[in-house]
């Protein structure tokens, strides 16, 4: 099975399948039924990150450097965690500004600057071409291994003529593929849907192929992971192969590699292409943020077992980079190695396709177009359409980039291992990160800062990674690495300023980032951005600002005719018509009429999609007289929206407060109504209460007036009644006044330290004759003597008498008993008055403190109104409350009736001195 015709037939058959899928994807896109409108397909397309380097190189790196290969995937996992914030912002900006590549992105951020765009494109070309070469090399090597096993593969490669090299032909087929599916539209910011669909399929194929090898190695060759690891444990040489010691640079190298992978993931042109440019829906990022890391986890799951198995087998497994192929080959299989080869081919072609599209867009939009536009002759003289030209440029760029990659592979590819090339590229691409990420969040970053930072970082990268590579290949003297240039030791590329023994990638990353970020920030702090740069900076940093509409930023003037002519020249008739058709309700095209600002903006975006933002800017400038909206305008737009949001927020808060106040008002109103009703009731009750004694007085007075000859005894009785009722009347009025004062807060009390025990005795004396009259047995228990409290002597006495009086009224009629107890309770004194009456039901206990409340005495024969006005208890409670105490009703523990208890806080010790004596003396006097 391992004959050339079969292998090549399978390989080209597989590429044909990609053609079919891509064509199908494009067809579906044209019909409006996109194949790539799913977050899963998006996540799979991001998996173009896993190239032939992952497919073959991970095992190689695991075999040589332990778990460090995982860092290449942990870095992107971290980056994808930030996808919902960082990448989403990039996606939104790219969609709004019709960004076509990372060079375009950086150039647009710093004022649509042509030079910066060209610089990034050139740097990308230099650092990524070897990476493309690496893919072609992987195809060649894997093919050679497949054909030549068990002989080593490398020997045959050099002897072959270049037209015998399969990777050349693969490269050419890929060129055709990319030209067909990558340059269908002029507008590079429009999605290459067919291509993305094909990439997603490739990601699946490489995953399946790799996992198949893994399962075969672990479960067929070794009867499960336990058996494999047991065998590893028995091999002392492999004991520490997966520990941190085998990681280059140890812990420092670990962190450096993690940072490198994190940065490179965001800045590799192909990753930018699939992550940002080809993104069809921001929401897809949510799913991709965990699905893509999961993909990486799965494809790496068997790397360590395969590496260990290869090491166990020793020589027969050959080069670690080829373990994936040689292990199934050594087991005598035929079909699985072919599947692995197709998996590797998938990984390599996927990367080459996307990378070439990204690079060719950069080359045509950032390098060639600005040059052509600058050439006055071409710009002015060429009439007719330039649209065809543009596609032509891009197609030539594709072929040239692939050939460049092939040349690199053919000429110097052999001197590097797969992983070295990949990591050198990573470090090169990572140089874009500061300009990209800092520019995304810091409005103050300027074009000069970004440019100088990029150049410095790139130069340091060249010196610390690229040149040493050449030295290792023998192109430069090897003493450069060991002794430094001209023998200056502190300039050694791998040990700059004496920083030796570092992992070379961490070393390079440290110095290049130091130069890059340092210059970017430092120069930015001392330079002034141009107005357009400020505008763009504001648009980029505030991209996530809600409500930031694509406000037209053009204030200049041009005619519709001039604009249309420009668009037709560069975009063709169809695209131009589409741009003009979108012109809101104004379908009529009048050549001499002024073009509305939205139309100018849309035209610029359309041009940007095809030519890049810098060139679009130049072209629009050529027909529009006047300036774009400046920074003040854009900032005022942003401020207006943020003000609106702030207003909205405040309005909402205010309306919530209003609702709350409304609720409070409603309940206050209800309370007022209730009070009003109570007041009416009160007035009715008071007048009723007043009328009773008044009627009585009047009746007896009339009797006295009208009947002249009343016996003396009777007259005395009548006069007695009148006096008694008058007393009741005045007491009632006194009480009402008290209550009014109490409720209005005008009740004046004279709180002084006094002895509650003395006061209680005093009160008992005052009421004793009344009790005697009614035959009430009074029991007095004073446990706390003295009981010093702060209180108003007369008022407190009034309260105690009131309590004793009440108790007497409600006590049992046959054997009335009342008990007064005074005792200490914690830091208070309690005075309770019990009776042996029927008691007060629980639900009544609070209501007895209402004005004129009358206790229902069940089972009792109505015996007229209870004596008293019904104001005694509310007044008592008010007085006690004024003195800081409480008054409540509970069950009588000793007598079984009701118990009214008042509680007052004990007076502080120092006040129980002289004053209390005064009171004592006073009260006893």
Partner 1 sequence: MKPSGAQSRKAERLIALVAVTLLLFCPPLIIVVDRLPSLSVGWLPLYLFIAWAVVIGLTAWLMEHRAGR
- Residue closer to partner 1 by CB (options 261, 435) is 261
Q: Which is nearer to partner 1, 239 or 719 (CB)?
A: 239
Give SS3 for 701.
Answer: helix
Under rule CB under 8 A, residue 440 binds partner 1: no
Applying CB under 8 A, among 28, 96, 287, 894 the residue interacting with partner 1 is 287
Q: How many residues does the chain have?
A: 925
Tell me if 651 contacts partner 1 by CB under 8 A.
no
- DSSP secondary structure code for residue 51 in this structure: -
Interactions with partner 1, residue window 307-326 (CB under 8 A): 308
User: Residue 465 Cβ, how far from partner 1 at the closest point, in Å?
Assistant: 23
Q: Determine phi and psi for 635, rounding to 5 degrees.
A: -65, -35
Sole binder of partner 1 in the list 195, 232, 357, 397 (CB under 8 A): 232
Q: How many CA atoms lie within 13 A of 702 on its CB side?
A: 6
How far is residue 489's CA from residue 495's CA, in Å, rounded to a whole number? Answer: 8
336 near partner 1 (CB under 8 A): no
**What burial letters (b/e) apply to 249-280, b meaning 16+ CB within 10 Å?**
beebbbebbbbbbbbbbbbbbbbbbbbbbbbb
- By CB under 8 A, tell whether 14 contacts partner 1: no
Q: Is 85 in the site for partner 1 (CB under 8 A)?
A: yes
When asked if residue 254 is in the footprint of partner 1 (CB under 8 A), the reply is yes
**Rounded distance between C-alpha atoms, residue 364 and residue 118, angstroms:** 10
The two structure tokens encoding residue 79: 């980056």
Q: Of 294 and 378, which CB lies nearer to partner 1 in the complex structure?
A: 294
Smallest distance from the beta carbon of 65 to partner 1, in angstroms?
A: 13
Smallest distance from the beta carbon of 69 to partner 1, in angstroms?
10
Contact between 222 and partner 1 by CB under 8 A: the answer reads no
In contact, 810 and 900? CB cutoff 8 Å: no
Candidates 88-96, 291-299, 680-688, 889-897: pick the segment binding partner 1 (CB under 8 A): 291-299
70 in contact with partner 1 (CB under 8 A): yes
Applying CB under 8 A, does 289 fall inside the site for partner 1? yes
Long-range contacts of 642-649 (CB under 8 A, 24+ apart): 642/545, 644/547, 645/546, 645/547
898 φ/ψ angles, rounded to the nearest 5 degrees: -95, 155
The CB-of-50 to partner 1 minimum distance in angstroms stands at 15
Among 77, 203, 464, 575, binds partner 1 (CB under 8 A): 77
Q: Could you report how far apart the first and last alpha carbons of the chain are, in Å?
A: 130
In the complex, what is the shortest distance from the CB of residue 301 to partner 1, in angstroms, rounded to a whole number? 7
Instruction: Please report whether residue 243 would count as binding partner 1 according to CB under 8 A.
Output: yes
Burial of 22 per CB tally in 10 Å (0-12, 13-18, 19+): buried
255 near partner 1 (CB under 8 A): yes
Span of 142-150, 162-170, 241-249, 436-444 interacting with partner 1 by CB under 8 A = 241-249
Is the Cβ–Cβ distance between 122 and 137 less than 8 Å?
no
Q: Per CB under 8 A, does 547 bind partner 1?
A: no
Residue reference for tokens 């053009």: 554
Q: Does 227 bind partner 1 (CB under 8 A)?
A: no
Taking the mean position of all CA atoms in its chain, how far away is CA 468?
43
Number of residues near partner 1 (by CB under 8 A): 39
Pick from 251, 380, 861, 925 the residue near partner 1 by CB under 8 A. Answer: 251
Pick one of 233, 590, 661, 683: the residue that binds partner 1 (CB under 8 A): 233
What does the alpha-carbon distance between residue 106 and residue 122 come to, in Å, rounded to a whole number? 13
**DSSP labels, 630-655:** -HHHHHHHHHHHHHHHHHHHHHHHHH
For residue 554, give both structure tokens: 């053009």
Separation between Cα atoms, residue 149 and residue 403, nearest integer Å: 29
Among 4, 160, 593, 652, indicate the residue that binds partner 1 (CB under 8 A): 652
Exactly one of 17, 23, 242, 455 binds partner 1 (CB under 8 A); which one? 242
Q: Between residue 576 and residue 635, which ones bind partner 1 under the rule CB under 8 A? A: none
Residue 695: CA count within 13 A, CB half-sphere: 6
Compute the least distance from the CB of residue 271 to partner 1, in Å. Answer: 19
Q: Does residue number 304 form part of the binding site for partner 1 (CB under 8 A)? A: yes
By C-alpha distance, which of 117, 676, 146 is closest to 435?
117
Is residue 544 part of the contact set for partner 1 (CB under 8 A)?
no
Which tokens hold the place of 739? 């209550």
Output the smallest distance, CB 89 to partner 1, in A. Answer: 13
What's the closest the beta carbon of residue 296 comes to partner 1, in angstroms? 9
CB atoms within 10 A of CB 630: 15
Q: What are phi and psi of 899, to 5 degrees?
A: -135, 120
Q: Whole-number minimum distance, CB 654 to partner 1, in Å?
A: 13
Tell me if 402 contacts partner 1 by CB under 8 A: no
Nearer to partner 1, 296 or 899 (CB): 296
164 lines the binding site for partner 1 (CB under 8 A)? no
Shortest CB 234 distance to partner 1, Å: 9
Token pair for 476: 């430069």
Q: How far apart are CA 780 and CA 812, in angstroms?
A: 18
Q: Would you say 594 or 656 has its CB closer to partner 1?
A: 656
DSSP 8-state class, residue 464? I
Closest CB to partner 1 among residues 78, 331: 78
Interaction of residue 181 with partner 1, rule CB under 8 A: no
Question: In this structure, what DSSP letter does residue 485 have?
Answer: G
Residue 258 interacts with partner 1 (CB under 8 A): yes or no: yes
Contact 203, 47 (CB under 8 A): yes
Q: Closest Cα to residue 451, out of 98, 122, 127, 90?
A: 122
Interacting span for partner 1 (CB under 8 A) from 230-238, 382-390, 777-785, 807-815? 230-238
* 244 touching partner 1, by CB under 8 A: yes
With tokens 């810091």, the residue in question is 442
Segment near partner 1 (CB under 8 A); pick from 252-260, 691-699, 702-710, 889-897? 252-260
Residue where the block lists tokens 């104004």: 586
- Token duo for residue 326: 């040689």
By beta-carbon proximity to partner 1, the closer residue of 238 and 704 is: 238
- DSSP 8-state class, residue 789: E
- Phi, psi dihedrals of residue 823, rounded to the nearest 5°: -150, 165
Please tell me whether residue 506 binds partner 1 under the rule CB under 8 A. no
Using rule CB under 8 A, residue 380 touches partner 1? no
Q: Does 736 bind partner 1 (CB under 8 A)?
A: no
CB of 71 to partner 1, least distance (A): 8
CB of 646 to partner 1, least distance (A): 13
Structure tokens at 642: 């943020």
Does 57 participate in binding partner 1 (rule CB under 8 A)?
Answer: no
d(CA 884, CA 906): 10
Instruction: Say whether residue 641 binds partner 1 (CB under 8 A).
Output: no
Q: Tell me: does residue 229 bind partner 1 (CB under 8 A).
A: yes
Q: How far is CA 244 from CA 67, 250, 310, 450, 469, in A?
A: 7, 6, 20, 37, 25
User: Judged by CB, which is closer to partner 1: 126, or 238?
Assistant: 238
Which residues contact residue 507 at a Cβ distance below 8 angstroms, ignoring those fewer than 6 apart? 256, 464, 494, 495, 496, 499
Q: Which of 82, 122, 147, 562 binds partner 1 (CB under 8 A)?
A: 82
Q: Least distance to partner 1 from the beta carbon of 289, Å?
A: 6
Give the interface with partner 1 as residue ranges (CB under 8 A). 66-67, 70, 74, 77-78, 80-82, 84-85, 229-230, 232-233, 238-244, 251, 254-255, 258, 286-287, 289-291, 293-294, 297, 301, 304, 308, 649, 652
């Amino acid at each position: 099975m391992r004959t050339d015709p079969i292998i090549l037939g399978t390989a080209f058959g597989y590429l044909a399948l990609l053609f079919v899928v891509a064509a199908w994807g494009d067809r579906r896109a044209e019909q409006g039924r996109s194949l790539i409108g799913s977050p899963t397909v998006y996540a799979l397309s991001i998996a173009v990150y896993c190239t032939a380097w992952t497919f073959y190189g991970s095992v190689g790196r695991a075999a040589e450097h332990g778990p460090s290969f995982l860092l290449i995937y942990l870095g992107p996992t971290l980056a994808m965690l930030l996808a919902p914030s960082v990448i989403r912002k990039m996606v939104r900006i790219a969609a709004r500004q019709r960004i076509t590549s990372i060079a375009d992105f950086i150039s647009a951020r710093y004022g649509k600057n042509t030079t910066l765009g060209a610089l990034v494109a050139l740097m990308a070309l230099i650092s990524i071409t070897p990476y493309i070469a690496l893919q072609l090399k992987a195809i060649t090597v894997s093919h050679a291994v497949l054909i030549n096993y068990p002989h080593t593969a490398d020997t045959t490669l050099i002897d072959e003529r270049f037209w015998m090299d399969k990777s050349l032909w693969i490269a050419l087929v890929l060129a055709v593929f990319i030209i067909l599916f990558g340059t269908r539209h002029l507008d590079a910011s429009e999605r290459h849907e067919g291509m993305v669909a094909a990439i997603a399929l490739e990601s699946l194929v490489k995953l399946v192929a790799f996992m198949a090898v893994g399962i075969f190695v672990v479960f067929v060759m070794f009867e499960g992971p336990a058996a494999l690891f047991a065998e590893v444990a028995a091999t002392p040489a492999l004991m520490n192969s997966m520990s941190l010691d085998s990681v280059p640079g140890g812990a420092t190298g670990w962190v450096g590699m993690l940072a490198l992978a994190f940065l490179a993931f965001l800045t590799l042109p192909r990753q930018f292409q699939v992550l940002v440019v080809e993104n069809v829906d921001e929401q897809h990022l949510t799913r991709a943020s965990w699905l893509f890391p999961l993909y990486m986890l799965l494809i790496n799951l068997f790397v360590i077992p395969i590496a260990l198995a290869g090491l166990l087998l020793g020589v027969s497994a050959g080069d670690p980079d080829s373990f994936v192929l040689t292990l199934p080959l050594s087991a005598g299989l035929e079909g699985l190695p072919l599947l692995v080869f197709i998996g590797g081919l998938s990984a390599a072609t996927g990367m080459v396709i996307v990378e070439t599209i990204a690079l060719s867009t950069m080359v045509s939009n950032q390098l060639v177009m600005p040059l052509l536009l600058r050439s006055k002759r071409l710009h002015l003289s060429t009439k007719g359409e330039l649209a065809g030209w543009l596609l032509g440029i891009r197609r030539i760029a594709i072929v040239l980039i692939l050939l460049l990659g092939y040349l690199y592979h053919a000429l110097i590819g052999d001197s590097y291992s797969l992983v070295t090339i990949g990591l050198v590229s990573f470090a090169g691409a990572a140089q874009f990160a500061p300009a990209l990420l800092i520019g995304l969040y810091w409005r103050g970053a300027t074009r000069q800062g970004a440019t100088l930072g990029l150049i410095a970082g790139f130069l340091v990268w060249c010196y610390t990674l690229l040149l040493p590579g050449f030295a290792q290949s023998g192109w430069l003297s090897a003493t450069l690495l060991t002794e430094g240039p001209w023998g200056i030791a502190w300039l050694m590329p791998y040990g700059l300023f004496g920083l030796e023994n570092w992992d070379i990638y961490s070393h390079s990353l440290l110095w290049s980032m130091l130069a890059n970020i340092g210059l970017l920030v430092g120069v930015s702090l001392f330079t002034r951005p141009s107005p357009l740069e400020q505008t763009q900076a504001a648009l980029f940093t505030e991209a996530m600002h809600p409500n930031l509409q694509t406000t037209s930023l053009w204030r200049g003037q041009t005619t519709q005719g001039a604009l249309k002519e420009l668009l037709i020249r560069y975009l063709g008739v169809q695209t131009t018509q589409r741009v003009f058709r979108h012109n809101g309700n104004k379908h009529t095209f009048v050549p001499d009429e002024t073009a509305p600002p939205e139309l100018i903006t849309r035209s610029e975006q359309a041009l940007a999609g095809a030519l890049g933002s810098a060139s679009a800017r130049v072209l629009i400038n050529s027909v529009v007289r006047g300036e774009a909206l400046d920074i003040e305008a854009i900032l005022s737009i942003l401020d207006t929206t943020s003000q609106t949001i702030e207003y909205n927020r405040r309005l909402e808060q205010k309306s919530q407060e209003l609702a709350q106040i409304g609720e409070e008002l409603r309940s206050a109103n209800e309370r007022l109504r209730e009070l009003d009703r109570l007041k009416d009731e009160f007035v009715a009750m008071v007048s009723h209460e007043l009328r009773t004694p008044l009627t009585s007085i009047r009746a007896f007075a009339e009797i006295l007036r009208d009947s002249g000859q009343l016996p003396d005894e009777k007259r005395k009785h009548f006069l007695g009644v009148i006096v008694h009722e008058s007393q009741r009347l005045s007491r009632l009025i006194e009480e009402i006044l008290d209550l009014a004062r109490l409720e209005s807060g005008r009740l004046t009390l004279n709180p002084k330290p006094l002895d509650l025990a003395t006061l209680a005795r005093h009160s008992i004396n005052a009421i004793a004759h009344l009790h005697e009259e009614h035959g009430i047995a009074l029991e007095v228990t004073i446990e706390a003597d003295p009981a010093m409290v702060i209180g108003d002597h007369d008022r407190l006495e009034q309260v105690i008498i009131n309590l004793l009086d009440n108790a007497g009224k409600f006590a049992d009629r046959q054997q009335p008993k009342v008990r007064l107890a005074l005792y200490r309770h914690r830091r208070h004194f309690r005075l309770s008055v019990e009776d042996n009456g029927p008691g007060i039901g629980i639900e009544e206990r609070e209501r007895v403190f209402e004005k004129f409340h009358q206790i229902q005495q069940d089972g009792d024969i109505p015996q007229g109104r209870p004596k008293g006005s019904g104001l005694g208890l509310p007044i008592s409670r008010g007085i006690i409350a004024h003195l800081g105490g409480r008054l409540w009703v509970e069950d009588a523990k000793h007598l079984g009736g009701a118990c009214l208890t008042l509680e007052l806080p004990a007076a502080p010790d120092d006040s129980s001195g002289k004053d209390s004596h005064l009171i004592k003396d006073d009260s006893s006097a």
